[in-house]
């Protein structure tokens, strides 16, 4: 493999006379495999020169693979200036981990909104494909790509690439899991990091700070040169490149850091070390043995929304900080005061991960975590321990449990959030092979005793791995699967239709579904929730024995075990544990529904959609309008001098004015149009399937209806509204652009 560096800096570009040797552009590395596969690692400002070079030298159309460690700006800010993205026929395959809340495409498009850049992402002429990654492996051409989460303030992935016997590890934006004192590693996360790099011919490693600088920047997500050297020596790599240089370090500083790293490597066993420089080229010859490949595919994205996080602590400030950062990801937080309560109630609350304040162990020591795992029936159950940073090394890591994590207090909330995201993606609803085999074997023995065949034994084993049904005995599981079958649904398939009979219950073994409320007279689908692995759907209809009240759609390939209503009800009546677990699950969903209602509830004065609901529903209507190519209008109304109305006549009259405007909009528009109260005195209406010639007719009709309602209701004021109009033949994904145009049109009309 050929490796060439086009950008070496971190945080922000720092070009100038003092950075000419090592370079001032942010992260960008070119990799070419022996089969011609072109790979770009990160797309910082160095990507501009790389793009120009590729446009001049590569045969057209260009096909490349862009791997992004995470979507912080210093790793993507060169993309708007990356020439291949603008070339017709060019094909760009972009890979990155899923960040917080936003998809990869949304993160890339954010910096190319018209507020920041003249060309939007969707206007580029190349073909762009987006792939979100978790831990695992996949192949690009002849290159085997392996991924592993790093320790950063956002979900960040390191890449290990092998081709022709040569191996490269790209692990930038990574911080030590635990601050080492006297030995290379005292944390299971650092051990996993070393194992990921082991035997690589070249490691490109974050080394932003000196050791002294790092002590003042713990929790920022970057490493020191000492750590980079030590873990590379422990991993027995052949060559280390120090990368992600701090923008404040000039050439003289980096030369001193490079010399210091070389001296440290020479004193501890020998390792070729150099600092990354723009223009540096390295040829990797095959020397590594074929790596052992993990069974998991990095392309199999694991959703974490709805994951249950148990917090074991009595520290109110810590609990509040944890709740603030994790509820944004749609996680359900459960809180218990100590480990004894966690062990006693663990099977009831069914957590997917635990965050434990070490002070809540009551002197029991870390061995108590084994009792919790045994109680839950999950050997790989992840536990993040919040520990005093001065704790003795032996208390932090004993080496026998790789799914115990430690985070020093006071902890960095973004670091904790990324750490939880990584653990849930790695282990959510999963059991290790031993646990799954044991549960399946227990179920199989029960099935054979009851005279069941191979299919029934398989169904019992599958059911035993689902947390909700774990408390059941083999005999109860046999009763439950008496009429069971398996079904696989492709993306977009309606698993349940509204008004279907409620004779079946679905257990999701893999995949993800979306619960929708679909009105016959409205094209907008209201998303009620999403469900994933280990969850059930259709339970309310089964319990109430009534027709389905919602539609359930597969949003990815979904594998279900289908149970019969009578079998489920019979077992439910015989198992108090199953009944309690089901109640807890329903209570969690009710809590989530209440949270959604609080965010998307209609405006209490007018009954129209809220601002947040408008923007969400706009995205779906705009997508439909773009597919049809029919064009759309957006109408913005501002109630004239509403404050004066409130001051002179009271807020009750002001509310009557707002209601008259809202009702006038309803009477003047179609049921397929989207209306919202967007602000205190501001309304917006989105008209899909409308042309520019409809604008003035719509405005006149709205004014007429509002004036008629004001007279009919005897309001003591004349309602006047300012109007702005925006039209788009292909409405943008976000409503912001059309709202700005409508606001500008309103000001022109006022003038």
In this structure, the number of other CB atoms found within 10 A of the CB of residue 471 comes to 17
pLDDT tens track for 201-210 = 999 999 999 9
Within this chain, do residues 626 and 698 fall inside the same structural domain, yes or no? Answer: yes
CA-based nearest residue to 153, from 333, 414, 404: 414
- How many residues in total does the chain contain? 751
Amino acid 564: pLDDT = 93
CATH code for the domain in which residue 214 is found: 3.60.15.10
Tell me whether residue 541 is in a domain: yes
- CA–CA dist 242, 23 (Å, integer): 13
- 630: tokens are 């029919």
pLDDT tens track for 728-739 = 998 998 899 999
Average confidence score pLDDT of the chain = 86
> Residue 450 above 70 pLDDT?
no
Within this chain, do residues 172 and 240 fall inside the same structural domain, yes or no? Answer: yes
pLDDT range class, residue 524, cuts 50, 70, 90: very low
Within this chain, do residues 631 and 728 fall inside the same structural domain, yes or no? Answer: yes
> Residue 430 above 50 pLDDT?
no
pLDDT range class, residue 432, cuts 50, 70, 90: very low
CA-based nearest residue to 750, from 727, 726, 725, 723: 723
- Answering whether pTM is above 0.85, one says no
Tell me whether residue 493 is in a domain: yes
- 57: tokens are 């030298």
Tell me whether residue 432 is in a domain: no
Within this chain, do residues 509 and 392 fall inside the same structural domain, yes or no? Answer: no
The domain boundary residue, chosen from 563, 598, 633: 598
The domain boundary residue, chosen from 427, 461, 483: 427
Cα dihedral value 309, 313, 318, 321, nearest 10: 20
CATH code for the domain in which residue 402 is found: 3.40.50.2300
pLDDT range class, residue 442, cuts 50, 70, 90: very low
Q: How many domains does one find in the chain?
A: 4
For the ranges 45-54, 108-117, 601-610, the one whose mean pLDDT is highest: 45-54
pLDDT range class, residue 180, cuts 50, 70, 90: low
pLDDT tens track for 223-255 = 999 999 999 999 999 999 999 999 999 999 999
- 280 versus 436: the higher-pLDDT residue is 280
- 435 versus 364: the higher-pLDDT residue is 364
Tell me whether residue 722 is in a domain: yes
Please give the average per-residue pLDDT across 48-54, as a whole number. 97
CA-based nearest residue to 97, from 299, 294, 293, 296: 299
> Residue 436 above 50 pLDDT?
no
Within this chain, do residues 583 and 477 fall inside the same structural domain, yes or no? Answer: yes
Amino acid 277: pLDDT = 97
> Residue 50 above 70 pLDDT?
yes
Residue with tokens 């990799």: 31
Within this chain, do residues 541 and 593 fall inside the same structural domain, yes or no? Answer: yes
Within this chain, do residues 141 and 267 fall inside the same structural domain, yes or no? Answer: yes
Determine the straight-line distance between the first and last CA of the chain, rounded to whole angstroms. Answer: 64
Within this chain, do residues 482 and 563 fall inside the same structural domain, yes or no? Answer: yes
Amino acid 446: pLDDT = 39
CATH code for the domain in which residue 709 is found: 3.30.70.270
Within this chain, do residues 109 and 134 fall inside the same structural domain, yes or no? Answer: yes
Asked if the bond preceding 410 is cis, omega within 30° of 0, the reply is yes
In this structure, the number of other CB atoms found within 10 A of the CB of residue 270 comes to 9
If residue 620 lies in a helix (H) or strand (E), which one and from where to where?
A: helix 611-628
Tell me whether residue 196 is in a domain: yes
> Residue 707 above 60 pLDDT?
yes
- CA–CA dist 245, 22 (Å, integer): 9
Taken in order 736, 614, 531, 323, the sign of the CA dihedral is positive
Tell me whether residue 94 is in a domain: yes
Biggest CA pair distance of the chain = 91
Tell me whether residue 743 is in a domain: yes
Report the DSSP beta bridge partners of residue 551.
516
Amino acid 16: pLDDT = 95
> Residue 397 above 70 pLDDT?
no
pLDDT range class, residue 451, cuts 50, 70, 90: very low
pLDDT tens track for 617-641 = 888 888 878 877 888 999 999 999 9
pLDDT tens track for 592-616 = 676 666 666 788 888 888 888 888 8
Within this chain, do residues 131 and 216 fall inside the same structural domain, yes or no? Answer: yes
CA distances for 388 relative to 180, 320, 396, 684, angstroms: 14, 19, 10, 53
Within this chain, do residues 270 and 186 fall inside the same structural domain, yes or no? Answer: yes
- 9: tokens are 């800096």
- CA–CA dist 21, 220 (Å, integer): 26
Q: Quote the domain boundaries for residue 202.
A: 2-283
Amino acid 434: pLDDT = 37
- 595 versus 747: the higher-pLDDT residue is 747
Within this chain, do residues 536 and 639 fall inside the same structural domain, yes or no? Answer: no
Tell me whether residue 683 is in a domain: yes
Q: Where are the alpha helices (DSSP H) in 629-692?
A: 642-649, 651-668
Asked if the bond preceding 594 is cis, omega within 30° of 0, the reply is no
- CA–CA dist 733, 621 (Å, integer): 9
């Amino acid at each position: 493999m050929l490796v060439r560096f086009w950008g070496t800096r971190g945080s922000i570009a720092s070009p100038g006379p003092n950075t000419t040797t090592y370079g001032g552009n942010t992260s960008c590395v070119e990799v070419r495999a022996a089969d011609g596969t072109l790979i770009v690692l990160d797309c910082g400002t160095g990507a501009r020169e790389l793009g120009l070079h590729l446009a001049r030298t590569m045969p057209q159309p260009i096909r490349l693979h862009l791997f992004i460690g995470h979507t912080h700006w210093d790793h993507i800010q060169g993309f708007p200036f990356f020439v291949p993205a603008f070339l017709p026929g060019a094909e760009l395959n972009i890979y990155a981990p899923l960040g917080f809340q936003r998809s990869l495409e949304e993160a890339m498009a954010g910096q190319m909104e018209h507020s920041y850049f003249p060309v939007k992402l969707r206007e580029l002429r190349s073909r762009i494909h987006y792939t979100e990654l978790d831990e695992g492996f996949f192949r690009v051409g002849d290159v085997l790509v392996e991924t592993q989460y790093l320790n950063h303030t956002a979900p960040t992935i390191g890449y290990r690439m092998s081709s022709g016997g040569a191996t490269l590890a790209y692990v930038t934006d990574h911080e030590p899991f635990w601050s080492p004192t006297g030995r290379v590693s005292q944390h299971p996360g650092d051990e996993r990091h070393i194992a990921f790099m082991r035997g690589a011919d070249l490691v490109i490693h974050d080394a932003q700070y000196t050791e002294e600088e790092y002590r003042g920047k713990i929790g920022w997500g970057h490493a020191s040169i000492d750590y980079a050297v030590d873990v590379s020596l422990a991993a027995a790599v052949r060559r280390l490149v120090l990368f992600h240089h701090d923008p404040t370090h000039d050439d003289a500083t980096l030369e001193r850091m490079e010399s210091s790293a070389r001296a440290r490597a020479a004193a501890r066993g020998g390792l070729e070390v150099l600092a990354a420089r723009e223009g540096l080229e390295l040829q990797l010859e095959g020397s590594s043995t074929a790596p052992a490949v993990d069974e998991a595919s990095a392309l199999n994205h694991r959703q974490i929304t709805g994951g249950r996080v148990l917090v074991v602590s009595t520290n109110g400030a810590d609990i509040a900080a944890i709740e603030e950062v994790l509820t944004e990801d749609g996680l359900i937080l459960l809180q218990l005061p100590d480990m004894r309560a966690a062990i006693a109630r663990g099977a009831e609350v069914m957590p997917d991960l635990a965050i434990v304040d070490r002070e809540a162990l009551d002197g029991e020591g870390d061995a108590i975590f084994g009792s919790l795992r045994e109680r839950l029936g999950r050997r790989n159950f992840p536990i993040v321990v919040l520990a005093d940073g001065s704790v003795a090394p032996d208390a932090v890591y004993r080496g026998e449990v790789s799914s115990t994590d430690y985070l020093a207090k006071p902890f960095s909330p973004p670091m904790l959030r990324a750490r939880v995201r990584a653990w849930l993606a790695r282990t959510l609803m999963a059991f290790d092979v031993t646990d799954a085999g044991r549960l399946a074997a227990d179920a199989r023995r029960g099935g054979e005793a009851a005279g069941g065949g191979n299919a029934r034994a398989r169904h019992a084993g599958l059911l035993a791995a689902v947390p909700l049904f774990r408390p059941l005995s083999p005999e109860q599981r046999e009763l439950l699967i008496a009429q069971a079958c398996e079904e696989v649904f492709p993306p977009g398939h309606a698993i349940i239709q509204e008004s279907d009979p409620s004779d079946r219950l679905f257990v999701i073994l893999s995949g993800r579904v979306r619960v929708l409320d679909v009105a016959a007279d409205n094209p907008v689908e209201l998303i009620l929730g999403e469900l994933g692995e280990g969850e059930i759907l259709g339970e309310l209809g089964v319990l109430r024995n009534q027709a389905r009240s919602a539609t359930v759609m597969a949003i990815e390939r979904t594998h279900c075990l289908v149970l019969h209503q009578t079998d489920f009800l019979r077992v439910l009546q015989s198992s108090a544990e199953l009944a309690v677990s089901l109640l807890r699950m329903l209570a969690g969903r009710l809590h989530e529904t209440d949270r959604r209602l609080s965010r998307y509830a209609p405006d209490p004065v007018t009954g129209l959609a809220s601002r947040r609901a408008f923007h969400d529903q706009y995205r779906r209507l705009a997508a439909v309008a773009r597919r049809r190519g029919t064009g759309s209008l957006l109408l913005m109304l501002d109630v004239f001098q509403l404050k004066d109305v409130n001051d002179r006549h009271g807020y009750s009259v002001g509310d009557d004015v707002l209601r008259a405007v809202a009702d006038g909009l309803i009477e003047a528009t179609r049921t397929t149009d989207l209306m919202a109260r967007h602000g205190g005195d501001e309304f917006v209406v989105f008209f899909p399937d409308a042309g520019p010639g409809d604008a003035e007719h719509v405005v006149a009709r709205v004014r007429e209806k509002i004036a008629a309602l004001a007279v009919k209701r005897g309001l003591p004021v004349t309602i006047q509204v300012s109007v702005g109009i925006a039209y788009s033949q292909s409405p943008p994904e976000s409503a912001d652009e059309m709202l700005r145009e409508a606001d500008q049109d309103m000001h022109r009309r006022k003038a």
